Amino acid sequence: MRTRLIRPVVAAAAVVLSLSFISCEKREAAEPAGGPPEITLVIHGGAGTISRDKMTPEKEKAIRDKLTEALEAGHTILRNRGTALDAVEASIRILEDSPLFNAGKGAVFSSEGKNELDASIMDGATLKAGAVASVTTIKNPISAARAVMTQSKHVLLVGPGAEKFAEEKGLEIVPPHYFFDQDRWDELQRAKEAEKASVTPPSRGKVMLGTVGALALDANGNLAAGTSTGGLTNKMHGRVGDSPIIGAGTYANNKTCAVSGTGQGEFFIRLEIAYDVSALMEYGGMPLREAADKVIKEKLTGLGGTGGIIALDKDGNIAAPFNTPGMYRGWVKGDGKAHTAMYSDEEVSQ
Amino acid sequence: MRTRLIRPVVAAAAVVLSLSFISCEKREAAEPAGGPPEITLVIHGGAGTISRDKMTPEKEKAIRDKLTEALEAGHTILRNRGTALDAVEASIRILEDSPLFNAGKGAVFSSEGKNELDASIMDGATLKAGAVASVTTIKNPISAARAVMTQSKHVLLVGPGAEKFAEEKGLEIVPPHYFFDQDRWDELQRAKEAEKASVTPPSRGKVMLGTVGALALDANGNLAAGTSTGGLTNKMHGRVGDSPIIGAGTYANNKTCAVSGTGQGEFFIRLEIAYDVSALMEYGGMPLREAADKVIKEKLTGLGGTGGIIALDKDGNIAAPFNTPGMYRGWVKGDGKAHTAMYSDEEVSQ
């Protein structure tokens, strides 16, 4: 076990949080106390070829610090009786603004050398949802997704129509070069060279399947889920993965759970990964962890897909199964302790 | 009961079919014979404000004739041991090419006066799927969806990227004015005037929620589903509904059923309508009709949405619940008799 103190990030919230290396999967279930539910926030920063031998201490620290910052931002909202939706949006915006993750500022490049972003958000209390796909000028796609949910009669807007809508609603618009990142550009060039040579692109320990997501359970017992991504390096122009698809990459329902996915989006769409966890709970009577494991370790793996999910049920139980070498993830509950994990072998340490 | 003879439509298939006014919902289940499954094709042409007092005999005949033509095209393929996917695509292409339905040639206009088309297709044997959304130049979006499924590594392509892909694959590209239809244009103008006056647009007996879809069960026991639409009149530029969303508007799985939806797409996305029928069968142990009824009559209606689905299970059972005044629909089984129905009160008559 390693524990260290994290700096207070929000002026008003000088809560000192401890960071532990913990596997979500092995965390014990929260015990429903009969009173109000324990506020909970769970995030991920992508699943993929994450392994210790390819990770530098500096990179690892930067990623864990950013995950912690996102957890703290969301937790501050939940602690002050803010909504699950607000917490999800705030956490994801921090991850979108960081070049460390494949969403917003760190988005990968499509085969045409563009950053095409997708995001979605869902409210477990009302089953309302919003999403944007294939947008290139919206700084924080998760906020555009939320605006679609709350300020339009639609659920999914794509391309220039979505960008126009976001601009009309006063969201921050940036020039496409805002999303430029040299590492991601180099990654595209390697992918293109590999494509020409018909070999698998070298991974260099990168998060090949990166995406970010957040789930929250607020003091009123409401669940929310959100996901944001730059998609796949070298993806075809116009390709949309699971992240903006309600039921595939994102789902929330107060009756069951909230889920956000990361991985090979095509498999997540074909398997309705996010909603399937909820359906297994509601119709199959499974507890959260069993349902989440079945979806990833049996159904996704069985079909040949890779990736992972974070899942949070209405009682505050957490699951985070993945079939990749690693998944960036973190969570915080009522005690305010922020936890992060990256590898599959991280043990419970609290 | 009314029965009439239909002209043979395919030179090689001079099968005389009888047309009966039958409600899918009340049709008795096919009895599994123990041998190969009975080939079955089910189609819909949209649910909405369809009522006898607003329908002319000429319009009704034109719609029933076109549904029959689509059924015959698909049935010819199935009868000759073609695949469920081929039958679904062939049937939908006929409906797309007709201005009578809100898909392909008959697509409604978006608020910007454009026709933005969506379609998807799914193979129940492999769970492979393909979809296109927000395309404006592809004559038959269902064929583009199929090309995405079989000739790309992706499931969903949107906008110009999807159009470029379709062109590269040799699909027929048409100028945007190909989709122009005076009635649909007038419908948009009325919707815009109503929007200005903040009143509900007059329906004039039109299919306000039109979309087309097809399901097939072939001689090898494989299921397939497809859906194609022009979306909503006066929809926001870039709006994507449920039709191209696997699990929302379209789903097929040999283990359970095939489903295609038509209605208020936003509700279909939020409720994962198409996949939910399958989940209720697989996890909840419900027979097809009970699952389909629950999804439309309890869940969709409960959330305030309107529309309907056609559903076909692996044993050839059919369901077609809707909560609108009517839904254009039709089906044909091994005996080659094509049946069509439009209203909610059409009774079993065979």
3-class secondary structure, A90: helix
- Looking at residue B198, its pLDDT comes to 67
- Looking at residue B5, its pLDDT comes to 33
pLDDT digits (tens, 9 = 90+) for B224-251: 999 999 877 778 889 999 999 999 999 9
Active site residues of A: 211
Phi first, then psi: give them for residue B134, nearest 5 degrees. 60, 45
Rounded mean pLDDT, A308-314:
97
Give chain B's mean pLDDT.
85
| B245, B297, A312, A219 alpha-carbon torsion, rounded to 10° | 120
Interface contact B239, partner A, CB < 8 A: yes
Give chain A's mean pLDDT.
85
Interface contact A99, partner B, CB < 8 A: no
Q: Which residues of A touch B152 (CB under 8 A)?
A: 236
ipTM score: 0.86
- What is d(CA A34, CA B248) in angstroms, rounded to the nearest whole number? 36
- What is d(CA B195, CA B286) in angstroms, rounded to the nearest whole number? 42
Active site residues of B: 211
Lowest mean pLDDT among A3-7, A210-214, B111-115: A3-7
Interface contact B277, partner A, CB < 8 A: no
Nearest chain A alpha carbon to B235: A154
Interface contact B284, partner A, CB < 8 A: yes
The highest-confidence range among A176-190, A225-239, B56-70, by mean pLDDT, is: B56-70
- Looking at residue A171, its pLDDT comes to 97
Rounded mean pLDDT, A261-268:
95
- What is d(CA B149, CA B155) in angstroms, rounded to the nearest whole number? 6
Q: Which residues of A touch B161 (CB under 8 A)?
A: 134, 236-239
pLDDT of A350 above 70: no
Greater model confidence, B32 or B297: B297
Residue numbers of A between 132 and 161 with CB closer than 8 Å to B: 133-134, 152-161
Q: Does B270 contact A240 at a Cβ distance shorter than 8 Å?
A: no
pLDDT of B13 above 50: no
pLDDT of A45 above 80: yes
Using CB atoms, pick whichever of A128, A154, A284 lies closest to residue B236.
Answer: A154
The structure tokens listed for A78 are: 């939940």
pTM of the predicted structure, to 2 decimals: 0.87
pLDDT of B318 above 70: yes
In this prediction, residue A199 has a pLDDT band, given cuts at 50, 70 and 90, of low
Residue numbers of A between 104 and 133 with CB closer than 8 Å to B: 122, 127-129, 133
* Count of CB atoms situated within 10 Å of the CB of B97: 18
In this prediction, residue B1 has a pLDDT band, given cuts at 50, 70 and 90, of very low
Rounded mean pLDDT, A291-315:
97
Rounded to the nearest angstrom, the minimum Cα separation between A148 and chain B is 10
pLDDT digits (tens, 9 = 90+) for A97-152: 998 998 888 887 778 888 889 999 999 999 999 999 999 999 999 999 999 999 99
- Looking at residue B304, its pLDDT comes to 96
pLDDT digits (tens, 9 = 90+) for B292-307: 999 999 999 999 999 9
Q: Which residues of B touch A271 (CB under 8 A)?
A: 127
Nearest chain A alpha carbon to B123: A270
Greater model confidence, B157 or A37: B157
Q: Is B276 exposed, middle or buried (0-12, 13-18, 19+ CB in 10 A)?
A: buried
